[in-house]
Structure 1
């Protein structure tokens, strides 16, 4: 081997290594939100980061008051439902050290890159609102029926876990089978553990409700994924008509019987079938008593917040 050959091989190896590093960085970058790829997740994530920093480093009395004012307990839902439903979703249970923050970034970035920010926000909001109402309204009914004390109307209930769980359900429908069932298996195991242990009955039922809400949104997100794919390819967003197959779908195409020509003679062009392949795409911190793991530092039902 001459020195020139050695230099060429070394240069080729360095170029290949640099190419692998660039591909790895691009793949890693797609996991994180960006202004072009996932602006909704980026802006929302920065807001959550700011409130998490303040919750950990700010004045404790002020933080506690803000959390109480943001709580989606039954009393607040009756007085000012829109405000508390929005405000409660601006805090992360556990602050900077919560796994919710990491899961939020990964799940919502993956979903938004596939279906866009508007649909991602819609799925998150729908899961957050439906699961909150489904778990808090029965408390109000139990208090009205005299089965729970009036103090149960005033609890500390906040966080993003319901909306996050709904996005998990929606994202699962866009993944390939292995990723889909792996994601649903993890989420389902968390929900099952909550229901078996029943440490926090409200959140134990809220997370499965949110997950099912996300699964119910699959037609919406799949349509968004098709439109996004069509726009990226420069094609119209409307789905083209799918022709009927001219031979049984189980028959390999290379063995399709020839189709007769218009004159009735044999040996016409072979028929081709056409079809459409399907698009493939935490337990929250719960404290003692009947806490709402949706948000975190909740007081037990029947126990007024401190």
Structure 2
């Protein structure tokens, strides 16, 4: 059956759903953890305690200086988007970060490179983009490009890690679609209503762009390594028959 026919596409989709737990167990567990935490913090925890938890796990400058490991790890366990307000721009972010980024691209990364490497890519993108963003914030504060209040601003969630695997997944799309895909990855953080307080966009946009750059760099490294292996295999001498 041709996979491009509607019936073939449906069959492929059902097969992907059926094999998802076996092929992407880390991603599935992470999604369940995120959804459970989202419901717990948003609906079951008292409002003041939920706010205190979010404030404690925010990766702002003050928290990174005081409890960096707790902030960096904990912020990746809290999903800050909406799951119910489907007519808002926030739900669009949910579709991109949680839906496309985690459920699809992290799952693809896990199938392609294994669970441990997928976790390293996602967490590495989250941590590195956060720390690089902190450096940008310090520079911006020095030159007065950001207000001092940015030191304690709320910044938590999965979007930096999701942005990294979104960029890495450029390798998964057909060649003719890679440029539009890259434009989507870079463009969606710039399409929000955030204001530019100076020569730089708001720090969350900076973080998303840095995370995308990390993912694109990793994708390029993987592509170059694969090309070298193909050339080495093609130039290897064929053993003579005995």
* TM superposition score category, shorter chain reference: 0.7 to 0.9
Q: 1:216 to 1:53 in 2, by over 3 A?
A: same
Equivalent residue, structure 1, for 2:68 = 81
The one of 49, 56, 61 aligned to 2:42: 56
Secondary structure, aligned partner of 2:23 = coil
Equivalent residue, structure 2, for 1:216 = 217
**Offset at residue 30 of structure 1 (A):** 1.8
Larger radius of gyration: 1
Q: Number of residues paired by the alignment?
A: 215
Equivalent residue, structure 1, for 2:78 = 91
Equivalent residue, structure 1, for 2:26 = 40
* TM-score, normalising length: structure 2: 0.74
Equivalent residue, structure 2, for 1:274 = none
Unaligned runs of 5+ in 2: 1-5, 85-93, 238-242
Please give the residue correspondences for 1:102-141 in structure 2 after superposition, counting only pairs within 5 Å: 102-103=99-100, 104-140=102-138
Unaligned runs of 5+ in 1: 1-19, 227-236, 246-306
Q: Does 1:202 align with 2:203?
A: yes
Q: 1:189 to 1:153 in 2, by over 3 A?
A: closer
Q: 1:25 to 1:51 in 2, by over 3 A?
A: farther
**Offset at residue 76 of structure 1 (A):** 0.8
Secondary structure, aligned partner of 2:234 = coil
* TM-score, normalising length: structure 1: 0.60
C-alpha contact (below 8 Å) 1:74/1:153 kept by paired residues: yes
Q: 1:152 to 1:192 in 2, by over 3 A?
A: closer
Please give the residue correspondences for 1:156-235 in structure 2 after superposition, counting only pairs within 5 Å: 156-193=154-191, 198=196, 201-218=202-219, 221=222
Q: 1:108 to 1:153 in 2, by over 3 A?
A: same
Equivalent residue, structure 2, for 1:234 = none
C-alpha contact (below 8 Å) 2:133/2:207 kept by paired residues: yes
Q: 1:224 to 1:44 in 2, by over 3 A?
A: farther
**Offset at residue 27 of structure 1 (A):** 2.4
Structure with bigger helix share is 2
Secondary structure, aligned partner of 2:64 = helix
Cα RMSD between the aligned structures? 3.5
Counterpart CA distance in 2 for 1:96 and 1:192 is 22
Q: 1:150 to 1:202 in 2, by over 3 A?
A: closer
Secondary structure, aligned partner of 1:94 = coil
